[in-house]
Structure 1
Amino acid sequence: MQENAVLGVDISKQKFDACLLIGSKERHKVFRNDQEGFEKLVAWCNGHGAEHIHLCLEATGCYSEDIVNFMYDLGHNVSVINPAQIKAFGKSELLRNKTDKSDAAMIARFYIANKPNLWKPASREVRRLRDLYRCLQALKDDKLQQMNRLENKNVDSRCKKATLEVIATIKREIAALEKEIDEHVNNHSHLKNMVENIKTVKGVGHLTAVAVIAEMPSVYNFDNARQFTAFAGLNPGHYQSGSSVSKKSRICKIGSERIRKALYMPAIVVKNTNSYFQKFCQRLASRGKRPKVIIVALMRKLMHIFFGILKKNQPFNGSLVK
């Protein structure tokens, strides 16, 4: 039994390249990205004496979900890595060639060098909530796109009629999905409790609370609120070198764009209506911070608060806001 068997995988829609790294010896093979391919992968690893495997791959959305769930269910360790980390690691190795095969090997070496955290799957009910929420947001984007078409006053009447019919259909589906999201949350008491606790922050609505639950991993995957906030890409990034180079700090944006999008408008509402955050905003304004910078800082503050709410399973406590 090889306890140190590392499996680096570079995955795409139809297939994936695998690099099995045992000690210093690399073995490569290509498999189909489906159930049969996963089974052949495990048999191939076992054939090389690797019974317990640590799978390491980039976060690639739907393309990687099936394999990570398959390997996790078999009892193997899994690490899902931010692609930006893999890219930076490749640069540190001064790699000149980029192929699927070389990427799989690089991902395996990344694990050896960095020992990333283990991946844990979201519960079935959270995964369904995430799917419903993402579908809802996609339809809202589609509706906006179609409505923008109507801005053209010279559009042909037949085209205008078709666009209006599409918009009406999308609106019906949006209403149906919002109802289904509400029913799903109400049918699972722990989801309902989390959503209701987050909504105790005045200015944070139902869908924003749903977004936090659906798009963020469990708080128990993080050691502290800073790590939780970093997942959303809201931690500040500083650039300073010596005494003469000092650029403006910006959020790093290496994280969930969906969460940042979901929090922007609620942060504006919180700034304008929630008295608990007035001193925080006024303090930033007195330092000369621009309005948009204050909004982003408030988004970061809200993520810290959400972490505390979910970790302690308690409603919002305004007295703790500094």
Structure 2
Amino acid sequence: MPAFLGIDVAKDTLAVALLGPKSPRKTSVPNTPAGYARLVQWLTNQHVSDVTVCLEATGTYSDDVALALHDAHYRVFLVNPARIAAYAKSQLARTKTDPADAVLIARYAHAEAASLTPYSPPDPALRELRGLVRHLDALQLQRQAELNRQAAGGHPSAVAEALAAHIAFLDKQIAETLRQISDHLEGHPELGKQHELLQSIVGIGSITASRILAEAGDLTRFRDARAVAAYAGLTPRQYSSGTSVQRRTRLSKIGNASLRRALFFPAIVAKQHNPVLQAFCARLAERGLAPKAIVGAAMRKLLQLAYGVLASGRPFDAALGLAHMTPKRA
């Protein structure tokens, strides 16, 4: 009889519940490589041959355990947290603890297994690029925090010197990480080609192109540009009820938050300098869309252009993009 393993993922621990022929069996392990090995051994000791694993997609906290269980030959479902939350509401779940959430996730997998897509790990070259890009982002956040402290002033000389030294150290680390990203792209010709194609789009520079590849992976695996936008949580979400409740359309934000962050400032730049985005955003402004909604739409359009150049294998062509936007005459 098949069994379903639900994992509630936290930064430091994994709460685990196994649903099978017997009552739920539970355990907890560290969210570390050693913890993953303990989990695999625990599963082996349960003497259940057919186990399906389900956990929420929570970025860096879930990526490693999903990969470890996939490599251990388990079928893994990495599910959008919003789907689990919706299932919890449908089940009128009232208890909110890590073990209870693990049981809920296992039950969700049991109920929805036929409709879920099994997890497929990213290419090792993409995994390494993602690690480098996320390390770069962390370093840049640290640098900005230290710059903010430095700008606040009023520090004793020893503290001011320490801040300056730390910023200089971070500058060197950032430069070294950028060099490693460049070397990695050069060492993987297909990734390097995609990186170059993305930079042909006005508004997407080298770092943004690296972030898109790192967070979205191979965009051509999606069936169309709309599916890419949905993956990033950039599709519009309408809210209306009857004739009296009409709220402003917003981004769904059910998707890859890191990818959305990577597109925010590039979309603002592209809105000003990319002819296709200029025309697109001007039309939205004429229709009365709010500035924030226009920026969100520009992010979606920019990602769709990225999908287009990678799917076609051809650099961005503004004239072609504008031609596709021109309404056809009757």
Q: Quick check: 1:31–1:37 contact (8 Å CA) kept in 2?
A: no
Q: Are the counterparts in 1 of residues 201 and 306 from structure 2 also a CA contact under 8 Å?
A: no
Q: Indicate the residue corresponding to 2:54 in structure 1.
A: 56
Partner residue in 2 for 1:5: 3
For the aligned residue pairs, the C-alpha RMSD in angstroms reads 2.1
Residue in structure 1 matched with residue 328 of structure 2 by the alignment: none
Give the match for residue 24 of structure 2: 27
Whether contact under 8 Å (2:220, 2:310) holds in the other structure is no
Query: Partner of 2:41 in structure 1?
Result: 40
Q: Does 80-89 or 296-305 show the bigger shift?
A: 80-89
Aligned to 2:152, the other structure's residue is in SS state coil
Length-normalised TM-score, structure 1? 0.90
What per-residue deviation string (whole Å, max 9, x for no partner) do you get for residues 71-130 of structure 1? Answer: 212332111112222122112211121222221221111123333221111111111111
The offset of 1:201, in angstroms, is 0.7
SS in structure 2 of the partner of residue 56 of structure 1: strand
Matched, 1:286 2:283: no
What CA distance in whole angstroms lies between the structure 2 residues aligned with 1:311 and 1:22?
Answer: 43
1:110 corresponds to which residue?
108
Q: Distance in 2 between matches of 1:51 and 1:220?
A: 35
Q: Retained in 2: the 8 A contact 1:267–1:298? A: yes
Q: Kindly, what percent of the aligned residue pairs are identical?
A: 35
- Contact 1:56-1:111 at 8 Å conserved across structures: yes
Change (3 A) 1:83 1:167: same
Change in CA separation of 1:54 and 1:219 when aligned onto 2, cut-off 3 Å: farther
1:31, 1:41 within 8 Å by CA — same for their partners in 2?
no
**What residue identity is the alignment partner of 2:59?**
G
CA distance in 2 between counterparts of 1:217 and 1:110 reads 27
Q: Is the 8 A contact 2:233 2:256 kept in 1?
A: yes
Query: Is residue 19–residue 105 contact of structure 1 (8 Å, CA) maintained in 2?
Result: yes
**Contact 1:38–1:70 (8 Å) recurs in 2:** no
Query: 1:141 aligns to what SS in structure 2?
Result: helix
Question: How far apart, in 2, do the equivalents of 1:36 and 1:177 lie?
Answer: 30
> How much does 1:221 deviate?
4.8
- Residue identity matched to 2:3: A
What per-residue deviation string (whole Å, max 9, x for no partner) do you get for residues 23-52 of structure 1? 7x543131424243133233134x1xx323
Aligned residue pairs: how many?
316
- Establish whether residue 195 from structure 1 lines up as the match of residue 195 from structure 2: yes
Report Cα offsets for 1:202-261 as digits up to 9, x if no partner: 221011110010011433553332222122221111110000000111112222222222
* Residue 15 (structure 1) shift: 4.4
Cα deviation, residue 14, structure 1:
5.1
Structure 2, unaligned stretches of length 5 or more?
Answer: 326-330
**Residue of structure 1 in register with 2:120 after alignment:** 120
SS at match of 1:54: strand
SS of the residue aligned with 1:117?
Answer: coil
Q: Contact 1:132–1:177 at 8 Å: present in 2 too?
A: yes
Structure-2 residue corresponding to 1:162: 162
Matches within 5 A, 1:232-271: 232-271=232-271
**How far apart, CA to CA, are the structure 1 residues paired with 2:27 and 2:133?**
34
* SS of residue paired to 1:94: coil
Matches within 5 A, 1:211-226: 211-219=211-219, 221-226=221-226
